[in-house]
């Protein structure tokens, strides 16, 4: 316990050292979070090994030991995400996702007492790893890999990472990886000063933090680097009192006289050049912009904007005219289709009314015709939308025909498996099926069987009529043993 308390005190002192060394509040916040988790890890270590009593509480302390293991990689991910050049919403989504996954894994570990998915525990000294443990380990490895990749790429883009720094980071990662592998195989436990995993990881984190600063992975201050990243603006850095202590290689018009004049100003015009001042942690940044170039660009943008607005207005007018033409064409086509179907239906109804059938049969046959007309008109309207969809409404329409045929004592079975069809295929299929039903009704056939299947991109319709003969005017007929077979392919 005394050795662990010593580590906690040392980490606490190291926190104050890092806080004095770092300038950017985002870096301070991230590093402090990592160090606080290290302290919590060591505290949980004390509770894990020194508490004895209730079995549930003893196991709970054991599981709490794994909370920092999960969240230390997430803390580093948060640190490098917060100082990256990503958009703010992307940072929030990335960090929130990691935290949510981490919390779910913590819940999984802390509830192991009931499900044993992480550890199979016989007692506190005899346990084995279950698949949940390897999920936690894989998550930590993935987060660490993503964080290292993101930090190396970001530092390389900013020009801060050197080959020497990359070698140092690589050697340290290799050492800690080798240690963890040897620890997993119970090899380093035989060496007294290497048997404490918590202490070893804590020391590595402290050393690694300093190495990241030294190698450029963790910038001491990045506010001016972020503002002027890949920029050719002329930059002057001053302390709080306005004394220049750093400037870019580009020649600058900013001198001590201008700095003095801007003591209580955030910006000032100097010979068509805008000089802007920004407060940073250790002083001020002064930078200039040549507004003559910006004004030229502004005028060019305005000209392009007016030209673009004219083109957009012309395009909108053209589109409106095209839509009117299409609507008129569709309206005329729809009107012609409706007129054609109404004429056909009117002729059929007139024939039924003039027939010798009893009134009840006439009403049933007319009802069948009207149901068909209703559905055909609806499908004609859908036809204008050139889309492919699951033909569930065709199934409903076919079953509706079957129900009305039953009232006419016609036994009709339709085998149809719903599939994706165009609106045109749906209309053509329905119209052809009804045309065959209408022929069968007029010829007084009582047993009909339809089979509708999709073959490649075509719809294949087959009608079988028992005790039938050839029907005049109907194509693709085959008569087999008093069964008439009619086939049709709709493309």
For residues 70-95, average pLDDT: 78
For residues 155-161, average pLDDT: 53
For residues 432-450, average pLDDT: 82
In a domain, 6, yes or no: yes
Q: Among positive and negative, which fits the CA dihedral 240, 241, 246, 249? A: positive
Q: For residues 289 and 273, is the Cβ–Cβ distance under 8 A?
A: yes
Name the residue among 238, 235, 239, 229 with its Cα closest to residue 83.
Answer: 229
Encode pLDDT of 17-30 as tens digits: 887 777 667 778 88
In a domain, 315, yes or no: no
Half-sphere exposure of 417 (CA within 13 A, CB side): 4
Looking at the fold, whether 194 and 47 belong to one and the same domain comes out as yes
What CATH number did the domain enclosing 160 receive? 1.20.1070
DSSP class of residue 249 equals: S
- % of the chain exceeding 90 in pLDDT: 1
Chosen domain end from 189, 222, 255 = 222
For residues 162-179, average pLDDT: 79
Which has more confidence, 239 or 151?
Answer: 151
Separation of alpha carbons 370 and 378, rounded Å? 13
pLDDT value, residue 297: 74
Kindly indicate the confidence band of residue 232, based on its pLDDT and cuts at 50, 70 and 90.
low
For residues 301-310, average pLDDT: 81
Looking at the fold, whether 45 and 132 belong to one and the same domain comes out as yes
Lowest mean pLDDT among 158-162, 204-208, 382-386: 158-162
Looking at the fold, whether 135 and 18 belong to one and the same domain comes out as yes
pLDDT value, residue 339: 67
73 has pLDDT over 80: yes
Chosen domain end from 242, 268, 292 = 292
Which has more confidence, 170 or 219?
Answer: 170
Structural domain count, the chain: 3
153 has pLDDT over 60: yes
pLDDT value, residue 281: 45
- Number of CB atoms found within 10 A of residue 290's CB: 14
Q: Cβ neighbours of residue 458 under 8 Å, at least 6 residues apart?
A: 489, 490, 491
In a domain, 124, yes or no: yes
For the entire predicted model, the pTM comes to: 0.45
pLDDT value, residue 159: 46
Encode pLDDT of 356-366 as tens digits: 778 888 788 88
Q: Is 6 helix (H, G, I), strand (E, B) or coil?
A: helix
Separation of alpha carbons 315 and 313, rounded Å? 5
In a domain, 310, yes or no: no
Q: For residues 385 and 423, is the Cβ–Cβ distance under 8 A?
A: yes
Looking at the fold, whether 215 and 272 belong to one and the same domain comes out as no
Looking at the fold, whether 248 and 217 belong to one and the same domain comes out as no
Kindly indicate the confidence band of residue 477, based on its pLDDT and cuts at 50, 70 and 90.
confident
Q: Cβ neighbours of residue 491 under 8 Å, at least 6 residues apart?
A: 457, 458, 459
Q: Which string of DSSP letters, residue by residue, matches 250-315?
A: S-----HHHHHHTTT-SEEEETTEEEEEEEETTEEEEEEEEHHHHHHHHHHHHHHHHHHHHHHHHH
Could you tell me the residue range of the domain that residue 121 belongs to? 2-222
In a domain, 317, yes or no: no
Q: What is the CA radius of gyration of the chain?
A: 40
Encode pLDDT of 364-396 as tens digits: 888 888 888 778 777 777 766 666 766 788 888
Half-sphere exposure of 195 (CA within 13 A, CB side): 6
Looking at the fold, whether 267 and 152 belong to one and the same domain comes out as no
Separation of alpha carbons 12 and 430, rounded Å? 80
Kindly indicate the confidence band of residue 104, based on its pLDDT and cuts at 50, 70 and 90.
very high
pLDDT value, residue 189: 66
Looking at the fold, whether 218 and 241 belong to one and the same domain comes out as no
Kindly indicate the confidence band of residue 206, based on its pLDDT and cuts at 50, 70 and 90.
confident
For residues 436-450, average pLDDT: 82
For residues 194-215, average pLDDT: 78
Separation of alpha carbons 347 and 475, rounded Å? 23
pLDDT value, residue 282: 46
């Amino acid at each position: 316990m005394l050795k662990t308390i010593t580590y906690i005190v040392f980490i606490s002192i190291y926190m104050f050292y890092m806080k004095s060394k770092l300038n950017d509040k985002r870096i301070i916040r991230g590093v402090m979070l990592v160090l606080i988790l290290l302290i919590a890890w060591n505290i949980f270590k004390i509770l894990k090994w020194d508490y004895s009593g209730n079995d549930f509480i003893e196991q709970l302390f054991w599981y709490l030991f794994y909370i920092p293991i999960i969240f230390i990689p997430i803390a580093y991910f948060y640190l490098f995400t917060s100082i990256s050049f990503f958009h703010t919403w992307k940072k929030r989504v990335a960090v929130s996702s990691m935290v949510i996954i981490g919390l779910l894994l913590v819940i999984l570990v802390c509830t192991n007492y009931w499900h044993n998915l992480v550890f199979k525990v016989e007692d506190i000294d005899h346990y084995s790893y279950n698949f949940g443990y390897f999920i936690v380990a894989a998550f930590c490895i993935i987060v660490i890999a993503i964080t290292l990749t993101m930090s190396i790429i970001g530092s390389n883009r900013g020009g801060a990472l050197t080959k020497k720094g990359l070698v140092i980071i690589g050697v340290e990662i290799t050492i800690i990886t080798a240690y963890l592998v040897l620890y997993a195989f119970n090899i380093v436990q035989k060496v007294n000063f290497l048997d404490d995993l918590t202490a070893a990881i804590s020391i590595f984190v402290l050393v690694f933090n300093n190495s990241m600063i030294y190698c450029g992975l963790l910038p001491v201050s990045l506010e001016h680097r972020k503002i002027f990243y890949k920029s050719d603006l002329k930059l002057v850095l001053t302390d709080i009192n306005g004394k220049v202590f750093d400037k870019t290689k580009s020649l600058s018009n900013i001198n001590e006289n201008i700095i003095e004049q801007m003591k209580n100003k955030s910006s000032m015009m100097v010979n068509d050049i805008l000089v802007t001042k920004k407060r940073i942690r250790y002083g001020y940044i002064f930078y200039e912009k040549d507004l003559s170039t910006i004004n030229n660009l502004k005028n060019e943008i305005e000209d392009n904007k007016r030209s673009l607005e004219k083109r957009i207005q012309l395009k909108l007018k053209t589109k409106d005219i095209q839509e009117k033409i299409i609507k008129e064409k569709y309206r005329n086509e729809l009107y012609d289709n409706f007129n054609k179907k109404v004429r056909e239906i009117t002729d059929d109804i007139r024939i039924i009314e003039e027939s010798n059938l009893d009134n009840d049969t006439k009403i049933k046959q007319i009802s069948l015709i009207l149901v068909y007309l209703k559905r055909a008109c609806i499908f004609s309207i859908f036809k204008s939308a050139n889309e492919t969809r699951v033909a569930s409404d065709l199934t409903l329409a076919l079953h509706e025909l079957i129900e009305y045929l039953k009232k006419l004592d016609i036994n009709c079975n339709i085998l149809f498996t719903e599939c994706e069809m165009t609106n045109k295929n749906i209309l053509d299929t329905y119209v052809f099926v009804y045309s065959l039903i209408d022929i069968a009704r007029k010829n007084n056939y009582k047993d009909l069987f339809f089979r509708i299947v999709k073959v490649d991109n075509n719809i294949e319709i087959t009608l079988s009529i028992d005790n039938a003969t050839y029907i005049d005017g109907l194509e693709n007929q085959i008569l087999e043993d008093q069964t008439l077979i009619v086939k049709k392919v709709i493309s």
